[in-house]
Amino acid sequence: MRQFDIAVVGAGLAGSLAALALAESGRSVALIAPPARAADGRTTALMDQSIAFLKTLGLWEAIVPHAAGLETMQIVDGTTRLLRAPPVAFRAGEVGLAAFGYNIPNAPLLAVLDARIAASEGIVRLEGGVTAATAFEAGVELTLDDGERVTAGIVVGADGRKSRIRESAGIGVRTWSYPQSALVLNFSHERPHGNVSTEFHTESGPFTQVPLPGGRRSSLVWVLPPKEAARLRDLPAEDLARAVEERMQSMLGKISVEGGAQSFPLSGMTADRFGKGRFVLIGEAAHAFPPIGAQGLNLSLRDIMTLRDLVKDHAQDETLGERFDRRRQADIRSRTLSVDLLNRSLLSDFLPVQFLRSAGLHLLSALGPLRTVVMREGIEPLGALKAFREGLRERIARKRA
């Protein structure tokens, strides 16, 4: 029976990055997941804090050729309701950054991670599914679907919403659904995007265009009623391109849809806790919500950063799961709540809710300091407080000098 310090179950983006980060700490890591992956035409927007983390892992140089910078992020009220807000633009230069982050297609991102994992001496890839995970005093025994058994001091569940690891740990979940589906596609356009991402707020949810490399290509997440999302997905490419261009008010000129569109229903999920004993949950095994505000993988990377820090001192600690849970509760709960409230506010026809959303965008448009606080918080939790403390230290240092 093979023994490892850590077993990571699930080899999607979160699981692969967790394996690489934990192997960097000098631990022996088993990455356990079946080899086949469904083709993934989606993209992932990673914020500045996440990009810095990729740099510490030595990954960014291989990823950056596939990435497009997000220099400006603007919100446009695309509703036809009585109370509408003015456009709001968030510019990275306002918080001293060249870009808030980068948009990266999932397929080449996963290819870079797979290549790095294959080259890592600290990671053993086991291409099987986990059928059982049993904790005992000194570790956890994992049974794979080919009958092999391995043990690990810590098991990281990165195996998605239907996590077998979460189930084996006896951790419950809270789930909810929305009357929406997301239509996802990539498209080319006549005018350059200028590294600007535009999110239209509509009655059915956000319509979000995000730049891709090359200047004249973008990705799209369009939140719609399920039947409408299915109808648009099945349209001929030319008709779908016309619908996208119309929704965008021809901001990028003539549009051509690349390849097939995908659609999937929107729902949310949070685990009752994010760790227990020798089990830790990250990514969509722990939390999942609609693709709004570029929060999903960025939140998962903060899971990994926290876990990496804890493993340095508590790799064989049978209470590591509880330590991890305490560290992640506030961030995960607050981000989940904020995304849920924003999405529901777009769906609501209740006039006071419309007023609050419109008033909030008015304030962000008019008040630069408030906009700065929101931008820093979107990039990094408590980022505004951190910037304030650093600015205060600099002022004190200048006075002493």
Which CATH number covers residue 210? 3.30.9.10
Clarify whether residues 53 and 82 are in a common domain: no
For residue 254, which of 244, 262, 266 has the smallest C-alpha distance?
A: 244
Domain identity same for 202 and 328: no
Are 122 and 10 found together in one domain?
yes
Residue 251 falls within a domain, yes or no? yes
Expressed as residue numbers, the domain containing 324 is 2-60+106-175+268-343
User: In Å, how far are 77, 90, 210, 376 from 372, measured between CA atoms?
Assistant: 20, 8, 21, 6
350 lies in some domain: no
Please tell me the predicted confidence (pLDDT) of residue 291: 73
Q: Answer whether residue 355 is part of any domain.
A: no
Whether residues 44 and 110 share a domain: the answer is yes
**Residue 166, domain CATH:** 3.50.50.60
Statement to judge: residues 182 and 284 lie in one domain: no
Q: What is the pLDDT of residues 304-334, one digit of tens each?
A: 999 999 998 776 778 999 999 999 999 999 8
Asked if the structure places residue 307 within a domain, the reply is yes
pLDDT at 364 over 60: no
Kindly state whether residues 247 and 283 are assigned to the same domain. Answer: no
Of residues 289, 150, 226, the one with CA closest to residue 142: 150
Q: Is residue 349 part of a domain?
A: no
Same-domain check for residues 195 and 235: yes
CB of 268 closer than 8 Å to CB of 291: no
Q: Which of the two residues, 89 and 253, has the higher pLDDT score? A: 253
Other residues' Cβ atoms within 10 Å of the Cβ of residue 226: 16
* Shared-domain flag, residues 50 and 90: no
Answer yes or no: is 390 within a domain: yes
Q: DSSP letters along 23-87, please?
A: HHTT--EEEE--S-------EEEEEHHHHHHHHHTT-HHHHGGG-EEE-EEEEEE---SSS-PPP
Same domain? For 253 and 388 the reply is no
> Residue 157 falls within a domain, yes or no?
yes
Q: Which tops the pLDDT comparison, 151 or 380? A: 151
Q: What is the pLDDT of residue 372?
A: 55
Answer with the one of 243, 266, 289 that is the final residue of a domain: 266
Contact by Cβ (8 Å): 339, 295: yes
The answer to whether the CB of 105 falls within 8 A of the CB of 39 is no
Q: How far apart (Å, rounded) are the C-alpha atoms in residues 188 and 73? A: 19
In sequence order, the 6+-apart residues with CB closer than 8 A to the CB of 239 are none
As a whole number, the mean pLDDT across the chain is 84
**Amino acid letter, residue 215:** G
- Which of these ranges, 29-43, 156-170, 374-388, has the smallest mean pLDDT? 374-388
Residues 74 and 200 in one domain: yes
How many structural domains compose the chain?
3
How many angstroms separate the CA atoms of 228 and 29, rounded? 45
Do residues 97 and 162 both lie within one domain? no
What is the maximum span of the chain, computed from C-alpha positions, in angstroms?
A: 68
Last residue of a domain, one of 210, 243, 266: 266
Q: Quick one: average pLDDT of 274-293?
A: 89
pLDDT of residue 26: 86
What is the rounded CA–CA span in Å between residue 332 and residue 316? 25
| Residues 114, 51 within the same domain | yes
Residue 207's CB is within 10 A of a number of other CB atoms, namely 21
Place 352 in a pLDDT band, splitting at 50, 70 and 90. Answer: very low
Query: Angle 136-140-142 (CA atoms, 0-180°, nearest 5)?
Result: 130
Residues 6+ apart with CB under 8 A from 395: none
Q: Is 145 helix (H, G, I), strand (E, B) or coil?
A: coil
d(CA 342, CA 205): 9
- Helices 320-347, 351-366: crossing angle, 10 deg rounding: 110
- pLDDT category at 76 given cuts 50, 70, 90 is confident
Residue 75 in this model has a pLDDT that exceeds 90: no
Q: How confident is the model over 370-392, as pLDDT tens digits?
A: 445 555 556 566 544 444 444 44
Whether the predicted pLDDT of 351 surpasses 50: no
Are 106 and 46 contacting, i.e. CB atoms less than 8 angstroms apart? Answer: no
234 occurs within a structural domain:
yes
